[in-house]
Structure 1
Amino acid sequence: MQRRQFLNALAAVSVTSPLLFASGRANAQTATMRPTTLDPGRWSPLNARRIQALLDDYGSQSKGYRADKRPYAVFDWDNTCIMNDCEEALLMYQINHLQYKLTPDEFVEVMWKDVPKGPFVKDYTTVDGKPVTMEDLAADVEADYRWLHANYRGLAGSKSLEEIQASDQFKDFRAKLYFMYDAICDTHPLEIGYKWIIYFYKNMTTAELQAMAEASNNYDIGDALRKVKYESPKTLPGKAGVVADSHFHGIRIHEEIRALMHALRANGIDVYVSTASIDDVVRVFAGHPSYGYGVPPENVIGLRLEMQDGKYTANYKSGWHFNWGPGKTTGIQNVLVAQKGYGPVLVAGDSDGDAWMLRDFRDTSVGLIVNRLKKGEIGADSQQAAAQLGSAKARFILQGRDEQTGLMLPDEKSLKYGKSERKLLA
């Protein structure tokens, strides 16, 4: 109860400008701190020593340090700096609170933006095992949204949010729209799904989006870490039938990452964030004083939308790269290396979306992997980390965490949600 009261107080903080705060304010917290050592916290002891060696070798106390050529570090955000994904949490928050500025016709246009027709992969079926197509699912979601728009007081109707949330139309909308997001991501290239999720911000100003993001952050920090299955009502099978999908609720701040960011800056090493979420959403979490990371808004590289008359459109920013996987390397090269002439000394990530930037820069001394026991491209980097375990010059290091609590573990091994045994590799 005390934590929820505290979070309600946080939620009262209003967003007064599109960027929330000046970069000088974000850096001011670190300016008063001059630690030269890393707080060991819950770091694996081997990782604490490796990171401390990096601070000693590249920080402002090192012999070769040049203030006019400041080293820098790049962090992925979701599931690296925090436990879970703030933009996927925002998707669920936006659904639950019906915070859309879209007419029904605009909603349908956004829902179909860049999404191919046809069936989803075999894992995405009805609860009784029948295939689901985008056409049928979209028809059901459209019918739900038209009903919700006509009836919800916050859109064009007269019913309260509580009355709406009790309706079968809302429950159908939530289950099927979230199912649609996961099905799109797993059926088609991730670029389609990751852009699709941000098109629903159409017609919002940056301040409106960031206010919603802050409210979502506060809600999920106060929520339990729990996986909830959402099933559409049997009373509304529609064209697609009854479907179900699960969402991992709850967010936790990784205190060790936050402390590391402050230690880096205190040692003259700049901190950047590279995210596959829209940058204006991550800027709230990374830079708002309530969360304590202190990352200036201009130091966040992420997905971007075209703006028109001060509002987001449902068009991806022309000429801007897709900031995931190899695209994160492109972003660092185009935004940072082009300006500075050199790459990051430290890169941190957790998934395939980060695997390339973790290994692509010869200037990188340490690739820090938050160990989610993944295979694929990040699995290859994790294998290297496991092979280098204990090396004083390890290029990759694995940091364990407990997904039951969201806390880091003083270990390279991680404990997956619902499991009882720590593991080093997938």
Structure 2
Amino acid sequence: MNMNDKMKYSPQMHGISATGTRGIARRGFLGGLLAAAGAGLAGVAVSGHAVAKEAGVNLDRAKWSPRNHALMARMLAEHGSMAPGYQSGKRPYAVFDWDNTSIMNDCEEALLMYQINTLSFKLTPAEFAAIIRQNVPPGPFSKDFKNAAGNVVDLDSICADLDADYAFLHANYKGMAGSKPLEEITATTEFQDFRAKLYYLYEAVNDTHGVNVGYPWVIYFFANMSVAEVSALAEASNDAALGASLTKVKYTSPADRPGKAGVVSVSHFHGIRLCTEIGTMMDALRSNGIDVYVCTASLEDVVAVFATHPKYGYNVPRENIIGLRLERNGERYRNAYLKDWPLTWGPGKTVAIKKELVAKKGYGPLFVAGDSDGDYDMLRDFSETQYGLIVNRMKNGKIGELSKLAADQMASVKPRFLLQGRQESTGNWLPVETSIKYGKTAPQLLTS
């Protein structure tokens, strides 16, 4: 990648103070951003729309940034089935991340909270105890994971508390070995402690030990369930999350049940929203002879429910979903990651795409869309990729590097990376490159 032509970006270019955008500076930021995009890409927009019209390309404008919409339409026209030189035996293809790219929020995390709230586990207390410790290094978590007393929480303590909670729930809930209804069970301090500490443990494992440990760990809770049972659970979770408000809720374990770990608090971002722009783009790609794939760091079968079911509107073929995979006993999942299958996050996404697609087709994707460090590699690893679209979450890390590069390329007629804005409080895209964080009102281009 040639970095020599990058334009320098600084907050002062767009009138942003070091402490954020205020008053006139806020209006100046938006105006300057739109003016810069318009000035640098007026020709692209005109030629893109002209080519799109001539080729019969129909991509819903919706809430796309005008520049991104023009570039997407031009890509469809130049590489789709109406383009000169198109080969039906060598169809181009696009790859989309799922969570926080194709939808707002994370369906795997929503499913974990739904699984907890509905106590949808098919595990004995001994099996549950083994899974919460499985492949997780013992000892304290990172310094960010402290209890109310200010002490760092460790694996052994929180697992001991969860062992006691789950034993009570398993013995008393009628969906397990007991007779009490869910409504009565969820009112108990044992359940309140269980919910807060299990979700806290999920966050602590990922933050302390990384997704290579945390992402397989969370899907081990499907052990003993069939594919059909998990699919039904995922659909119920999707529907509940689509009907819920987008809100961050703080869960605190009961003060009168501190256990060994003490009182802990954790937040979960409730709610999911469909992304119309991604759904309609998928349709436009297919209508123009370009295949659509999803590569996700969630369980493949969970995302398949969302991506393939007609009621959600994405209509991706089941065989085109690539994601995390578990070993099975027949149709029932085991708490073991599939042998020799890559973890489809970060470099593993590139490995999976090469294994499943490049090895069979002989070439990489024309287009890739993502939002996080988990998508960094697939966004940049294929020479055939014309555009890498980044749903702008204003993040640091590796995706922050690509976001910075996309910002630098906003005046280029041939950018490699594109930023697309959204408003986190509504889950909707914005017709600009900037995004608005949840709980904020000021639009932002890059992380501050």
**2:293 alignment partner, SS class:** strand
Residue of structure 1 equivalent to 2:48: none
Deviation at 1:83, TM superposition (A): 0.3
Residue of structure 2 equivalent to 1:201: 222
Residue of structure 2 equivalent to 1:286: 307
Deviation at 1:264, TM superposition (A): 0.4
Residue of structure 2 equivalent to 1:89: 110
CA–CA distance in 2 between the matches of 1:176 and 1:51?
44
Residue of structure 2 equivalent to 1:8: none
**2:161 alignment partner, SS class:** helix
CA–CA distance in 1 between the matches of 2:330 and 2:100?
34
CA–CA distance in 2 between the matches of 1:226 and 1:389?
32
Kindly provide the CA deviation profile for residues 147-179 of structure 1, in whole angstroms up to 9, marking residues without a partner as x: 000000000101100000100000000000000
- The answer to whether the aligner puts 1:102 opposite 2:158 as a matched pair is no
Deviation at 1:391, TM superposition (A): 2.4
- The answer to whether the aligner puts 1:125 opposite 2:152 as a matched pair is no
**1:16-415 alignment to 2 at 5 Å?**
36-415=57-436
- The answer to whether the aligner puts 1:417 opposite 2:438 as a matched pair is yes
Deviation at 1:64, TM superposition (A): 1.7
The unaligned stretches of length 5 or more in structure 1 are 1-33
CA–CA distance in 1 between the matches of 2:148 and 2:434?
35
CA–CA distance in 2 between the matches of 1:167 and 1:194?
29
**2:312 alignment partner, SS class:** coil
Kindly provide the CA deviation profile for residues 267-290 of structure 1, in whole angstroms up to 9, marking residues without a partner as x: 000000000001000000000011
Residue of structure 2 equivalent to 1:7: none
CA–CA distance in 2 between the matches of 1:51 and 1:215?
34
Aligned residue-pair number: 393
Letter in 2 for 1:363: E
For the Cα contact (< 8 Å) 1:325–1:357, is it kept in 2?
A: yes
CA–CA distance in 2 between the matches of 1:401 and 1:189?
27
Of structures 1 and 2, the one scoring higher in RCO (CA 8 A, sep 6+) is 1
Deviation at 1:53, TM superposition (A): 1.0
Deviation at 1:36, TM superposition (A): 1.8
Letter in 1 for 2:92: P
CA–CA distance in 1 between the matches of 2:280 and 2:251?
36
CA–CA distance in 1 between the matches of 2:222 and 2:205?
18
Provide the identity percentage: 58
CA–CA distance in 1 between the matches of 2:309 and 2:331?
22
Instruction: Specify the structure having the higher radius of gyration (Cα).
Output: 2
CA–CA distance in 1 between the matches of 2:129 and 2:430?
44
CA–CA distance in 1 between the matches of 2:313 and 2:411?
31
The unaligned stretches of length 5 or more in structure 2 are 1-54
CA–CA distance in 2 between the matches of 1:296 and 1:127?
47
CA–CA distance in 2 between the matches of 1:186 and 1:365?
33
**1:100 alignment partner, SS class:** coil
Deviation at 1:35, TM superposition (A): 6.5
Deviation at 1:37, TM superposition (A): 2.1
CA RMSD of aligned residues (A): 0.9
TM-score by length of 1: 0.91
Distance 1:35 1:181, change over 3 A: farther
CA–CA distance in 2 between the matches of 1:309 and 1:354?
32
For the Cα contact (< 8 Å) 1:367–1:395, is it kept in 2?
A: yes
